[in-house]
Structure 1
Amino acid sequence: MKILNSTKVDINKIFEFYKIATDFQKTKFKVHWPDFDRELIKKEIAENRQWKLIIDNEIACIWATTENDPQIWEKRNEDKAIYIHRISTNPKFRGQNLVNEIILWAKKYANQKNKEFIRMDTVGENISLINYYKKCGFDFLGLSKLKNTSELPDHYQNATVSLFQIAI
């Protein structure tokens, strides 16, 4: 198992994973991911903020990171944190607790960048997902109604989000 930055070669696989995740979300939840802009993903790749977890030479999971998330975290954005977005797992690797692997990696990554927190959000109040992330070691910080979402993807428009963090 290894974690690497995604490359341009991975773009189609990333969008395949997003489609699979969105189709699953549509069966379970009212809010689901929109179609993400390819330019956003290309930018994340160019900035080394798009990641992949490789198992047996196959992409098992992808996610993106940022060190700034002011529209979601507002005043808390001033804290030293990394933010994880859009975790999406290859169906072949579901149930293998890959979020725990991401957290182990994120702790090292955050330490290297002199950060104090690992943070994530999900749209809505999805109790099973909240419990899952708590089981993975995140503190659930509660719900937050987003105020300024002009630069965020469509699923954040007029949304309430669940906020999570791990202190390093």
Structure 2
Amino acid sequence: MITKAQLKDLPEIKSLTEACATAMIKKGIYQWNEHYPSLEKLQDDIKDGELYILRENSEILGIIVITETMDEEYIPVKWLSANESNIYIHRLATHPKVWGKGYAQQLMDHAENFAKQEGYSSVRLDTFSQNLRNQRFYEQRGYKRLGDIYFPKQSEHPFYCYELLI
């Protein structure tokens, strides 16, 4: 079941993101680390009502942030649609013990259905250039790769921006 996260979920959410960071680093993907996503960032996501959790048998197995806020890093990107009615996906993560079991698909289905139901024109996101698995994941869902952006505090490598028109 996918629901909005509550502040009481924060410790379990932070634990999930730390497990993801550790598992990605073991695979040579230096996308997340001990500083990102921070506890404060996740707390703000919850307070803003933008962080959703996928829970099964009372355990949080995945998270996703769905927001209308366009980060300033996205401004120079040549998007497929106008910057008026879009949602942005951040911090999509599933616990490493359930990687490959379709939970990320469920979270993205939720986000895309939300966009359709609420009348948004597109779903936008970025993914790490060194994470080939994520790139395939989004491209198989019909997302189009557009420009590159950088988050120097996370990595020297670029992040690729993607958009799916609704």
Could you state the TM-score of these two structures normalised by the residue count of structure 1?
0.81
Q: Which residue of 2 aligns with 1:3?
A: 2
Question: Amino acid of the residue matched to residue 60 of structure 1?
Answer: L
Matches within 5 A, 1:34-113: 34=33, 35=35, 36-75=37-76, 76=79, 78-113=83-118
Aligned-pair CA distance for 1:23: 0.6
Asked whether the equivalents of residues 53 and 62 of structure 1 are also in contact (C-alpha less than 8 Å), the reply is yes
Q: Deviation string for 1:22-48 (max 9, x for gaps)?
A: 111212235321323322222211111
| Aligned mates of 2:41, 2:134 — CA distance in 1 | 25
- Contact kept, 8 Å, 1:67 with 1:83, in 2: the verdict is yes
Amino acid at match of 1:89: T
2:162 alignment partner in structure 1? 164
Equivalent pair of 1:123/1:155 in contact (CA under 8 Å): no
SS at the partner of 2:62?
strand
**Mapped contact 2:14–2:42 kept (Cα < 8 A):** no
Cα distance in 2 between the residues matched to 1:30 and 1:98: 20
Cross-structure match for 1:17: 16
Work out whether residues 125 and 162 of structure 1, in 8 Å CA contact, stay in contact via their aligned partners in 2: no
One-letter amino acid matched to 1:167:
L
Q: 1:139 aligns with which of 132, 138, 143?
A: 143
- 1:159: how far off? 4.4
* Alignment RMSD: 2.3
- CA–CA distance in structure 1, aligned partners of residues 131 and 39 of structure 2: 27
Structure 2: runs of 5 or more not aligned = none
Query: More deviation in 40-49 or 107-116?
Result: 107-116
State the SS of the aligned residue for 1:154.
coil
Q: Deviations over 1:87-113 (max 9, x none)?
A: 121234322112221222112211343
Change (3 A) 1:45 1:145: closer
* Structure 1 residue runs without a partner (length 5+): none
